[in-house]
Amino acid sequence: MANTIYIRLRHKFKAALNDCIKIGKMANVIAPRDMKNVICDLDVYKIRPEDNKFVVIDAMDVIQAIHERYPDCDIQTVGPQQTIIEVESEKKGPRTVLFLLVWVLLFIGAGLTIMNFHEDVAMSSVHQKIYFLITGRENAKPLILQIPYSLGVGIGMILFFNHIFKKRFNEEPSPLEVEMFNYQQDLDQYIILQENKKAEAKRHGDG
């Protein structure tokens, strides 16, 4: 009787310290009903304090656990080959102060860089030149050009990040959201590789 068991690991989830991770929690399982309940209840891993922030569980670990219980079953994995478990540490204090610091940092930094940019590209003389080009008069401080310009800088940035018109205009993700997603993806990939390497080293050390 070659029962086939299909498992699909979840990509990522959170668990607390000292949790016992059961297969049912970290994977979708398709199997005959009586077996499925048993399989979902199998322990794969217990989170220990020395695991730090991430634990990666390989599909092989899951297969091993099932295999021990049902040696003559055919196990098929679908989808991701690893699951990342994010270990939730104790609640951290409010991040408000840190947030405000970053806010001020960005605010001042942004102001400084735009001024640097203006000096760097001699924006002031360009503005004077445009003023002369249009009106035929000289003006050392063409504020009629520079005030709309300053407002435009802000509008352009907001437009680029698509925040004001998000609801009204466009359901496509903003570049920032795509960027966040890509970054997270890269991070996950890195964690999987690193944790695998560590686990490998440990196994060799034991043997």
- Of 52, 65, 53, the C-alpha closest to 25 is 65
With CB under 8 A as the contact rule, which of the stretches 17-25, 29-37, 59-67, 123-131 interacts with other proteins?
123-131
Query: CA 98 from chain center: how many Å?
Result: 20
Report in angstroms how near the CB of residue 101 gets to other proteins at its nearest: 9
Q: Is 88 in the site for other proteins (CB under 8 A)?
A: no
- Of 58, 55, 54, 65, the C-alpha closest to 81 is 58
Spatial distance between the Cα atoms of 27 and 198, rounded to a whole number of angstroms: 23
Report in angstroms how near the CB of residue 179 gets to other proteins at its nearest: 5
From the list 78, 110, 122, 193, which residue makes contact with other proteins (rule: CB under 8 A)?
110
Spatial distance between the Cα atoms of 93 and 90, rounded to a whole number of angstroms: 10
Query: HSE on the CB side for 176, CA within 13 Å?
Result: 8
Q: Is 150 in the site for other proteins (CB under 8 A)?
A: yes
Report in angstroms how near the CB of residue 146 gets to other proteins at its nearest: 4
Token reading at 187? 């991070």
Q: Is 13 in the site for other proteins (CB under 8 A)?
A: no
From the list 16, 147, 193, 201, which residue makes contact with other proteins (rule: CB under 8 A)?
147
Spatial distance between the Cα atoms of 42 and 205, rounded to a whole number of angstroms: 27
Indicate the residue type of 10.
Answer: R
With CB under 8 A as the contact rule, which of the stretches 4-12, 81-89, 111-119, 195-203 interacts with other proteins?
111-119
Q: Is 164 in the site for other proteins (CB under 8 A)?
A: no
Q: Is 153 in the site for other proteins (CB under 8 A)?
A: yes
Task: Return all residues near 154 (Cβ < 8 A) that are at least 6 apart.
Answer: none
Query: HSE on the CB side for 163, CA within 13 Å?
Result: 8
124-143 residues near other proteins, rule: CB under 8 A = 124, 129-136, 141-143
Q: Is 104 in the site for other proteins (CB under 8 A)?
A: yes
Pairing of β 4-9 and β 74-78: parallel
From the list 114, 122, 193, 201, which residue makes contact with other proteins (rule: CB under 8 A)?
114
With CB under 8 A as the contact rule, which of the stretches 5-13, 18-26, 175-183, 192-200 interacts with other proteins?
175-183
| Residues at the site binding other proteins, with contacts judged by CB under 8 A | 95, 98-99, 102-104, 106-115, 117-118, 124, 129-136, 141-163, 165, 169-170, 172, 175-176, 179-180, 182-184, 187
